[in-house]
Amino acid sequence: MAGMKQLVEDIAKALVDIPDQVSVREVQGEQVTVLELKVAPSDLGKVIGKQGRTARSIRTILGAAGMKLNRRFTLEILE
Amino acid sequence: MSVRRKYSVTQLRPRIERFLRPILQRCRLRLRYEITEGPIQDREWENPDVLVKFSGPDVELLLENKAELLLALEHLTIQMLRLPSEDHERICFDANDYRLLRIEELRLSAGAAAERVRRSGRPYQFAPMTSRERRIIHLALRDEPGVRSESQGVGAARRVVVYPIPSEQKSRPQPTLGSPSPGTTAQSAP
């Protein structure tokens, strides 16, 4: 599902200060697709958010997309 | 309270659209949205400058689980726009008047909680809520005699607790427990 990789990338790029350093790797499992998000260290807070709320919001959107696309997506933010 | 607007629809619409449209498309969400000026209401809680109103076949999906998806889209949009936290309430996402009805619901439950605390003399804990919802509860309780409220807990578990004010202290302002969170000046942090 290249669409979801692009989705996470788009959202992250809109949130961070250094969009050039945003990258997303997609790891296909049998049941789950893991999306590994990497951003500049100084931008980590921007994609995680206060008390993790921003990361949680991205996961909620992935959850909704998963329902539509019949696939589970999880987001991992790499530090 | 004045209804001075800080953000205009013309200014924000292109940025909001550029952000939202690809998200909805990639998620295959069948939703339309309208970006308009928030209605001018004579209330000091929730007076948004810009209202993003959703409709369409997938509206129910937005509102499931206490409007989790609607609030997630709103949160990300606010972060994308880089609004300072005191301005978050100037943007409001809604569908089927959920937010308006929710404010009514919160006000009613604040009143009921105050009544219960006055009668029992014991504190009452609300379920965890977002900061905006907690603020509505605090505002609604401000005019309730014999009780005071504060927020407790961290992150998604943060909730409002209503305490009785012992009767001999009723006329005096209550010292708040703990340190107030940064950026808030009200007697109870939202």
Residues B64 and B137 in one domain: no
CB contact under 8 A, A68 and B155: no
Counted domains in chain B: 2
Q: CB-based contact (8 Å) between B182 and chain A?
A: no
Best CA proximity match to B150, nearest among B121, B181, B183, B120: B181
The angle subtended at Cα A16 by Cα A13 and Cα A22, nearest 5°, is 50
Residues B74 and B126 in one domain: no
Residues B82 and B127 in one domain: no
B38-56 pLDDT, tens digit per residue, is 877 655 667 889 999 999 9
Q: Is residue B185 part of a domain?
A: no
Residues B14 and B85 in one domain: yes
Q: Is residue B119 part of a domain?
A: yes
> Among B47, B76, B96, which residue terminates a domain?
B96
Mean pLDDT score of chain B, rounded to an integer? 87
Q: Is residue B45 part of a domain?
A: yes
Chain B hits for A53, CB-CB cut-off 8 Å, are: 75, 155-156
Chain A hits for B76, CB-CB cut-off 8 Å, are: 11, 14-15, 54, 57-58, 61
Residues B78 and B120 in one domain: no
- Closest-CA distance of chain B to residue A1, Å: 10
Which residues of chain A approach chain B closer than 8 Å at the C-beta?
Answer: 3-4, 6-7, 10-11, 14-15, 46, 49, 51-54, 56-58, 60-61, 63-65, 67-69
CATH of the domain at B92: 3.30.300
Q: Is residue B187 part of a domain?
A: no
- What whole-number distance in Å separates Cα of residue B49 and Cα of residue B129? 23
Q: Is residue B66 part of a domain?
A: yes
Residues B17 and B70 in one domain: yes
Q: What is the mean pLDDT of residues B135-153?
A: 94
State the sign of the Cα–Cα–Cα–Cα dihedral B88, B94, B100, B105: negative
Q: What is the mean pLDDT of residues B130-146?
A: 93
Best CA proximity match to B30, nearest among A15, A8, A67: A67
Best CA proximity match to B140, nearest among B172, B120, B115, B122: B115
CB contact under 8 A, A64 and B61: yes
Nearest chain B residue to A12, by CA? B80
Backbone φ and ψ for B29, nearest 5 degrees, come out as -85, 125
Calculate Rg over the CA atoms of chain B: 18
- What whole-number distance in Å separates Cα of residue A57 and Cα of residue A49? 9
Nearest chain A residue to B73, by CA? A57
- Closest-CA distance of chain B to residue A24, Å: 16
Who contacts A50 (Cβ-Cβ below 8 Å, separation ≥6)?
Answer: none
pTM: 0.84
Residue B178 CB-density burial (10 A; 0-12 exposed, 13-18 middle, 19+ buried): exposed
Q: What is the span of the domain harbouring residue B20? A: 9-96
> Among B61, B96, B131, which residue terminates a domain?
B96
State the sign of the Cα–Cα–Cα–Cα dihedral B76, B79, B80, B83: positive
Sheet of strand B32-37, all strands in order from the earlier edge strand to the far edge: B32-37, B50-55, B91-95
- Closest-CA distance of chain A to residue B115, Å: 32
Question: Percentage of chain A surpassing pLDDT 70?
Answer: 97
Residues B80 and B117 in one domain: no
Residues B15 and B37 in one domain: yes
> Among B96, B116, B151, which residue terminates a domain?
B96
Q: Is residue B137 part of a domain?
A: yes
What letter represents residue B17's amino acid?
A: E
Q: Is residue B175 part of a domain?
A: no
State how far the alpha carbon of B67 is from the alpha carbons of A63, B29, B62, B118, B142, in Å: 13, 15, 6, 32, 26
- What whole-number distance in Å separates Cα of residue B167 and Cα of residue B169? 5
Residues B68 and B122 in one domain: no
Q: Is residue B178 part of a domain?
A: no
Instruction: Work out whether strand B91-95 and strand B124-125 pair parallel, antiparallel, or are unpaired.
Output: unpaired
Residues B88 and B14 in one domain: yes
Residues B90 and B107 in one domain: no
Cβ-nearest to A57 among B28, B61, B76: B76
Nearest chain A residue to B20, by CA? A11
A27-62 pLDDT, tens digit per residue, is 999 889 999 999 999 999 999 999 899 999 999 999
Residues B18 and B90 in one domain: yes
Q: Is the pLDDT of residue B2 over 60?
A: no
C-beta separation of B51 from B94 below 8 A: yes
